[in-house]
Amino acid sequence: MEPSSKPATSSAIASDSFHHLDVGTVLNQLGVSLDQGLTDAEVARRQERFGLNRMTRRRGTPAWMKFLLQFHQPLVYLLLIATLVSLALREWVDATVIFAVILINSIVGYLQESKAEKEIESLNKMVAEETTVLRGGIRRGVSAESLVPGDVVLLQGGDRVPADLRLCTLKNLQIEEAALTGESVPAGKMIDALPLDTTLADRRNLAFGGTLVTSGQAEGVVVVTGDATETGRIARLMSETIDLSTPLTRNIAQLSRWLMFAILALSAAIFALGIWRGEPVAEVFMSTVALAVGAIPEGLPAAVTIVLAIGVSRMARRSAVIRKLPAVETLGSTSIICSDKTGTLTQNQMTVVQIYVADQMIDVTGAGYEPVGQFEQNGSKVEPADHPALTEVLRAGLLCNESSLYEEEGRWNIQGDPTEAALLVAAHKAGLHEELTSCAWPRRDKIPFESEYMYQAVLHEAPGDRQVVYIVGAMERLLGRCTAAIDALGGESPVDMPRIEAAAEAMAENGLRVLMLGKVEVETDQSQLEHEDVAANLTFLGLQGMIDPPRPEVIAAIADCRKAGIQVKMITGDHVGTARSIARMIGLGDAQLQSLTGRDLEQIPAEDLPVVAEKTTVFARVAPEQKLRLVEALQSRGHVVAMTGDGVNDAPALKQADIGIAMGITGTDVAKGAAAMVLTDDNFATIKAAVEEGRGVFDNLVKFIVWTLPTNIGEAGVLFVAILLATELPVLPVQILWINMASSVLLGLMLVFEPHERDLMLRPPRNPREPILSFPLIMRTGLVSLIILIGSFWVFDQEMRADGHTLDQARTAVINVIVMVECAYLLNCRCLTRSVFSIGLFTNMYVLYGIAAMIGAQLLMTYLPLMQKLFHTAPLDLGSWLRILLVTVVAFIAVEFEKWVRFHKQVAAT
């Protein structure tokens, strides 16, 4: 074909239109001929215009900026204020300790959350390094980076496609596109033009960069390179998606802002009051900063980090590796899981599950490539050795086959085409093996599969000095050539075409890919096989129906997710019939479940998509950008969305989702790089365990916050009232710092080891719009804060009235009141809705160890001379301890009674 007089470039054709044009038009537009290719001079000119065939590396956030951003949080600002306050008070040790907490939090956050942007590099690795082209009429090997639009590329089995190509000539070409389109089997290719609205997965006349040629040969012309390829578009989508904040970070930020404004307002009020009274500015300032120190929860950031880190450790033991720390809790808030089908819900291993032979439908058990299973009819076992027709149809699939099956490290794998492998595994289950069969049935010739004919055939010598041709392919191409059918005893009977077609239709309605198998005997001296040999007189052997089966554990996992109030949606690039069938198998719905295709999605206005996406269960033939749109649409409805997947086509949606979950074994590097969590066992059921762990993490965080806030509010209240009444401060800033830091470590952090409550996975997902603390918990926080306030002043007053008691002794008693109430309240907080006795006092021994350690620390602070000097404390007598114990018991009983009343009100209401 002659090139045009004025060569065009790929910009002359819309990047998504090449499949719509015939080969001649594409070549003419690109200014190239198939027999010559481009000249070196033309290649150089086009390289100047289009650049090299590689994806642009996006500039990421510098490492130093990522580290500094760890400080950009309201709660960290509060801690910095606490550090400055301590420095102003010349409390160097306290300032150092608080700043050390900030620094450790920032380092841990940086190491956990900072991602080296390896996704784009992984996409670059998918593109072939070298390829074969035709330039100046000469066939040569060149670097894939040097390709330009218009280059003529030669492909053969085993090659990785170097750029997006419009196929021009081909023979038996099949390309593995699962990572890009989600299809379970290699795509057969063609060269004819297709309708303009053909979806990506159905563009059979294109070969996409990064995909793998499994068989056949082809010539294609490069139409786009680098960032303009489908793989490049995915890279761009990934770079444009924003890493969203998580429900936890949003809630903590909201709580931190509320605390910061409350503390600043209270401090300003105290400062203004002191100035209005005419008190010395320095004294007023010191009282104000003491109030601020008392109100700031210094232990909260450390607790959040440690709770999440422990959650990461627990989840790693359950085969879920967390790449981003807050993702632990996000799983607990997840309301929708959008799951890819191939390799996630299914095994990505084509398996024969039904065989129609001799007017009988036989089920085949077992799943995947492991050659273990049996044959059943109506629940009764069928022995292939006693069923000549079944043996014959299995032998046909075994002989008409180029694939191989092998075991490696306990896993069964295949070499070759997955469809052929399914036929091979089915034969192995019947005890038929290619090694033994090939000796008794040596092959003479073969007709390879071609999309033009839709079948392949083999010529074999058969026992008894016979020659037999076995054929396998599309039933609609082969059934009309049959003149007889095999019967149950291996003989021949008339072929009942309507019955066979009905059986095939029933299998297809169940989402099975159906292949017909047949045979014909030829002359014994024939050594070559031609298409004419199988054009007529075939004997119908049977139908084998196969599917990429669901993972066995998925059904239970989805049922558990539904109990937990989590919707599961399937988003796949595969055909809608197959997707619906798998959805029904795994319990996503019945025959009435709603499904949409990518083409349907294109017709839905953007404003209507969120509602439609929420109601639909299965999305099929979906392009990568449509997966991204679906995730965004569901998020716009207020859902916390988790997206699972393993292919390159999943990566943009994985990155956009509130939490992206990649498969560790079958997942591509690109998918893993975009995900927040990686399942090391590729087990969908692990997600259920991760959700449970995430809910447990949030539960324990809430328990810590509910426990720590009354202390800070109570301390601030004590100081505020004392300043308001112009009396002696019942507790000093340095003593407050001791209480806050020591109790956070020895008491509060023990809650992170709290076991999960029994009803954890029976609750609906937490509404991410709701604040961390519900109204009942806020009221409880106020109750305990009031007990600390009143109890502290009562003990302080009693100590000051006692004969011979000093101000230091009174303050020491107040410190111990606050700490002992914290110990009692820690037991209350082990269960926020029921009595602590209902879950057992000894189910978390760390809490008891922490209380013992805190009491020991308080005794040292009270009686050890060095501690007395550092913290201005003094020894207490028995009377003081009895008063402290009384306040502690009152606090414990009051909270338990409040929980009892509220719990029984809820029971009565339901």
CA dist 828 to 25, 781, 791, 823, 832, Å?
77, 12, 18, 9, 7
- pLDDT value of position 238: 58
**Annotated catalytic residue 803:** no
Q: pLDDT of 23-54, one tens digit each? A: 999 999 999 999 899 999 999 999 999 888 88
Instruction: For residue 390, give both structure tokens.
Output: 């079944």
Nearest to 263 by CA among 71, 81, 76: 81
Measured CA to CA, the distance from residue 722 to residue 602 in angstroms comes to 67
Average confidence score pLDDT of the chain: 84
Which is higher by pLDDT, 179 or 887? Answer: 887
What's the rounded mean pLDDT across residues 514-531? Answer: 92
| pLDDT at residue 4 tops 50 | no
Residue 284 has pLDDT above 80, yes or no: no
Residue 194, Cβ density class (10 Å: 0-12 exposed, 13-18 middle, ≥19 buried): middle
**pLDDT surpassing 80 at residue 611:** yes
Residue 685 has pLDDT above 90, yes or no: no
| pLDDT attached to residue 734 | 75
Q: If we measure between CA atoms, which residue out of 73, 115, 71, 105 comes closest to residue 250?
A: 73
Confidence of residue 308 (pLDDT cuts 50, 70, 90): confident
Q: Is the pLDDT of residue 737 over 80?
A: no
**pLDDT in the model for residue 59:** 58
> pLDDT at residue 117 above 80?
no
Q: What are the Cα distances from residue 549, in Å, to 553, 578, 588, 737, 890?
A: 12, 10, 15, 60, 61
Across 317-321, 338-342, 378-382, 683-687, which has the greatest mean pLDDT? 378-382
Contact 746, 850 (CB under 8 A): yes
Higher model confidence: residue 506 or residue 769? Answer: 506
The stretch 774-786 carries a mean pLDDT of 93
What average pLDDT does range 853-859 have in this prediction? Answer: 96
For the chain, the straight-line distance linking the first and the last C-alpha, in angstroms and rounded, comes to: 80
286: which DSSP letter? H
Q: Are 183 and 341 in contact (CB under 8 A)?
A: no
Angstrom distance (rounded) from CA 533 to CA 908: 81
Residues 6+ apart with CB under 8 A from 342: 178, 182, 183, 184, 348, 548, 572, 573, 574, 646, 647
Mean pLDDT of 135-139: 89
pLDDT in tens, 695-734: 888 888 889 889 998 988 898 888 888 888 888 889 887 7
Confidence of residue 536 (pLDDT cuts 50, 70, 90): very high
pLDDT exceeds 80 at position 129: no
**Among 94, 159, 202, 340, which one carries the catalytic annotation?**
340
Where is pLDDT greater, at 604 or 415? 604
824 vs 276, more confident = 824
Per-residue pLDDT tens over the stretch 567-592: 999 988 778 888 898 999 899 987 78
Which strand (E) or helix (H) includes residue 15? none
Asked if residue 234 has pLDDT above 80, the reply is no
Range among 193-207, 494-508, 754-768 rated most confident: 494-508
Q: What gap in Å lies between CA 117 and CA 100, rounded to an integer? A: 29
Instruction: Kindly indicate the confidence band of residue 286, based on its pLDDT and cuts at 50, 70 and 90.
Output: low
pLDDT at residue 3, rounded to an integer: 41
Lowest mean pLDDT among 5-14, 184-193, 245-254, 470-479: 5-14
Residue 479: per-residue pLDDT: 96
pLDDT of residue 294: 65
Residue 173 clears pLDDT 60, i.e. is over it: yes
Check residue 7 and give its pLDDT. Answer: 42
Among 55, 411, 344, residue whose Cα is nearest residue 182: 344
Nearest CA to 690 among 679, 700, 701, 675?
679
Average the pLDDT over 544-560 and give the result: 89
Q: What is the mean pLDDT of residues 264-268?
A: 81
For residues 857-884, average pLDDT: 93
Query: CA separation (Å) from 319 to 133, 684, 725?
Result: 45, 11, 58
Question: What whole-number distance in Å separates Cα of residue 124 and Cα of residue 599?
Answer: 29
Q: Is the pLDDT of residue 511 over 80?
A: yes
Q: 123 pLDDT band (50/70/90 cuts)?
A: very low
Q: What is the pLDDT of residue 624?
A: 72
Q: Are 825 and 895 in contact (CB under 8 A)?
A: yes
What is the average pLDDT across 461-485? 93
**CB contact set of 389 (below 8 Å; sequence gap of 6+):** 357, 358, 486, 487, 488, 489, 490, 541, 542
The band of 246, judged by pLDDT with boundaries at 50, 70 and 90, is low
Q: From CA 654, how far away is CA 644, in angstroms rounded?
A: 7
Flag whether pLDDT at 448 surpasses 80: yes
pLDDT at site 690: 86
